Amino acid sequence: MIRQSAFTAEPWSLRETELNLDLLAQTESVFALSNGHLGWRGNLDEGEPHGLPGTYLNGVHALRPLPYAEAGYGFPESGQTVINVTNGKMVRLFVDDEPFDVRYGELRAHERLLDFREGVLSRRAEWVSPAGRAVRVSSTRMVSFTQRAIAAVCYEVEPLEEPARIAVQSELLANEQLPPAGGDPRVAAMLENPLTSEFYSADAATVVLVHQTASSGLRVGAAMDHQIDCPAGVHVESRAYPDGGIVTATMVLQPGQRLRVIKFVGYGWSGERSLTAVRDQVWAALSGARQTGWDGLLAEQRAYLDDFWDKADVEIDGDTEIQQAVRFGLFHVLQAGARAENRAIPAKGLTGPGYDGHAFWDTEAFVLPVLTMTVPRAAASALRWRHSTLPLAIERAAQLGLKGAAFPWRTIAGQECSAYWPAGTAAFHVNADIADAVIRYVDATGDKAFDHGPGMDLLTQTARLWRSLGHHDAQGRFHIDGVTGPDEYSAVADNNVYTNLMASQNLVAAADAAQRYPDRARELGIDVEESAGWRDAARAIFIPYDESLGVHPQAEGFTRHQAWDFAGTSEEQYPLLLHFPYFDLYRKQVVKQADLVLAMHVCGEAFTAEQKVRNFDYYEPLTVRDSSLSACTQAVMAAEVGHLDLAFDYLGEAALMDLRDLENNTRDGVHIASLAGAWIALVGGFGGLRHRDGMVSFAPRLPEGLARLAFSLLLRGRRLRVEVTHSEARYVLAEGEPLGILHHGKKVHVLHGKPQVRAIPAAPAAGPVPSQPPGRAPMHRGEGDHAG
């Protein structure tokens, strides 16, 4: 666990004031830099010690076998695993031939700072070598948002008390040694040396390497060049070898003199282009960076982030820790998707190898709602990646005996990589999550070209899946049986409410698209009968309801299952999946993560206000939150049903998931969906944002712990700013055409330059705050937690 005191609470940065070697892996994740295409973990410049080295290119992976005790039809044969590609961030320092290593000598001072506005990671250290030579080291590292193939480091060293012979050694390193990969020796061997050398060269201060992945056949190029600023007399040499290259700058420095090395690194990869094409690609990217220069890259980075924060910033008064955390989260969400450009947004972004680097439904359900309202081009790019995998999804559906497309539960390149089919293949709701993201994106942006093209393709093939998967009973009701919903502690269930409601929305949206674009309907083979069948299934979708309890079972029959023995479960036995068999979990009333409660959030119009209250009260004592995806949804619905302080507690959990390492796995990378969830909890929970069918509504109310909330949204070419206090909400159209919205159900017409202020009505009386399973209540945001 990361102690709260490990980081200072600052509104625009994350600062670590002392180095804790026991937390290296966790801090490497939170200090990671990426742009969606390229990711560098926050390892120390000198490379050692490290928790987990990591340099990632989005989409670059290795194939690994998926072992089965017994073969079964339709089981995926191989998985995909993100690999650590050529490390270009390494800069080693030698002081009179002794390597700078924080484990030796005396580390007088050490500070790292991740600046959310500048988009850089800086480091300052004072170190005394075992021989007594004192030096000051500073570095600034960046991964460029404007030049997506480029990362750069500015590294400076100066002796403090007496002259010293200094050598700065900049390195490219492939196949670097990693910690053990786990119990499967085949996977460990594959990951140990995933890259095979194809080309290497060194000249002056440049090195170029090209490798190919041994199992997946992807070609990876990396190149580095340097600018060296120092007093006269520096000696520079370079060399290359199959798995690396080194450029060394050596000289004697007097106290007060500095050796400054600026390192530019370019990356590229392809599954199709030749060795020379990939080599030339990275060389061209590197040439562009050299032409821009270090100062130019910094200026471009700041301008890019100024524009982002102008449109996406969330301001809160009353809790400095949450203010920092929500900006930290937005920064990492941006890093995960900004320049992914038709690639996936993995669950850990490019900050670590957690979940094998796979993308899940998290992207569409939690990350894209944020990007759609703040960086819509990045949301469109993520959906275009899904569209690019559509042929594989159609092929997978056919293998399963279904029509349309069956998108994978977890993947990098589009193939299903889950070897456990009850949680993987059966979780068909991923199709509806993709469709929902399409609907929300088009609704928020009005992007007709996307709607007409990739959007309609995705809606059509996902609708065909539902019509094929479900069936009508004798009473005409449409059932979808044998599926797994968001709650992974219930599997292969009939009529999961979330899945059915989302499928119904999907079916109607596909029929509407066919009506909007008859030319595309003909092209896709949609006739009047098929479209009418979609609407008929949507109208007849079966939504189970337990009349005796007055609540919706999350799936048919769920409320008659035996209750889990929470009293007999110790805190050490969470997460439950690591201590109990799935067989036991599947047949009991215990919920891993919000499922029915998530349905009430995203399909709120399907429930009455009274049903939402009763459902929320019923599921709170059953939900153990063994998933980082749950807290933000529970925050939104707690706020909607009137439990604002509980919502505030859940906001804290979502926002601090990685800064406090609440799931004990931040070492493997940050939780992008939970970080996006902090925005969802604030904007959707306390701002009350809902949008559907071109109508945007707000029902803002703040908890006692917050005095003010302000945020901006991008809506069809408009930028709307919302400011909320306990007494009123202020709506300001910063740019764009007039906009009609709803404020607590009443229409408000907002014009540019004419703010609209509305009083916040008193909240309806809420019942008793529901309890959570013993030991699973969220951490209370007490006064000591949020000074400010």
Give yes or no: 488 in active site.
Answer: yes
66 CB burial (10 A radius; 0-12, 13-18, 19+): middle
Packing angle of the helix pair 672-679, 320-337 (nearest 10 deg): 120
Convert 169-193 into a string of H (helix), E (strand) and C (coil): EEEEECCCCCCCCCCCHHHHHHHHC
* Residue 180 buriedness (CB in 10 A; 0-12 / 13-18 / 19+): exposed
CA dihedral 57, 59, 63, 68 (to 10 degrees): 120
User: In terms of Cα–Cα distance, which of 472, 532, 542 is closest to 503?
Assistant: 542
**Tokens 């993560």 sit at which residue?**
593
* Of residues 110, 91, 677, 161, the one with CA closest to residue 369: 677
Q: Give the C-alpha separation, 269 to 83, whole Å.
A: 13
Using DSSP, state whether 378 is helix, strand or coil: helix
CB 481 within 8 A of CB 494: yes
- The pair of structure tokens assigned to 71 is 């073969």
Please state, in angstroms and rounded to a whole number, the distance separating the CA atoms of residues 224 and 247: 9
Q: Whole-angstrom Cα distance, residue 353 to residue 25?
A: 12
Alpha-carbon 503 to chain mean position: 24
> What is d(CA 245, CA 250) in angstroms, rounded to the nearest whole number?
16
Give the DSSP H/E element, type plus range, for residue 310: helix 275-312
CB 414 within 8 A of CB 388: yes
Rounded to the nearest 5°, which phi and psi values hold at 711? -155, 165
Residues in the chain: 788
- What are the residues whose beta carbons fall under 8 Å from the beta carbon of 373, sequence distance 6 or more? 444, 683, 713, 714, 715
Q: Return the SS3 of 367.
A: helix
- Burial tier of 373 (Cβ tally within 10 Å: 0-12, 13-18, 19+): buried
Q: Tell me the C-alpha to C-alpha distance, in Å, between residue 378 and each of 142, 204, 330, 450.
A: 20, 38, 13, 13
Q: What are phi and psi of 7, to 5 degrees?
A: -125, 140
Phi, psi dihedral angles at 89 (to 5 degrees): -90, -5
d(CA 383, CA 435): 10
Going by C-beta distance under 8 Å and a sequence separation of 6 or more, which residues neighbour residue 679?
314, 326, 329, 330, 333, 370
Residues 6+ apart with CB under 8 A from 568: none
Q: Which of 234, 190, 226 is nearest to 207 (CA)?
A: 226
Question: Using N-to-C axis directions, what is the helix angle for 631-640 and 609-619, rounded to 10°?
Answer: 140
Task: Give the active site residue among 16, 28, 176, 488.
Answer: 488
Residue type, 96: D
CA distance 679 to 366: 10
Q: Could you give the count of Cα atoms lying within 13 Å of 398 in the half-sphere of its Cβ?
A: 6
> How many Å apart are CA 453 and CA 520, to the nearest integer?
8
Distance CA 442, CA 380 (A): 9
Would you please indicate which residues are annotated as catalytic (active-site) residues?
Answer: 488
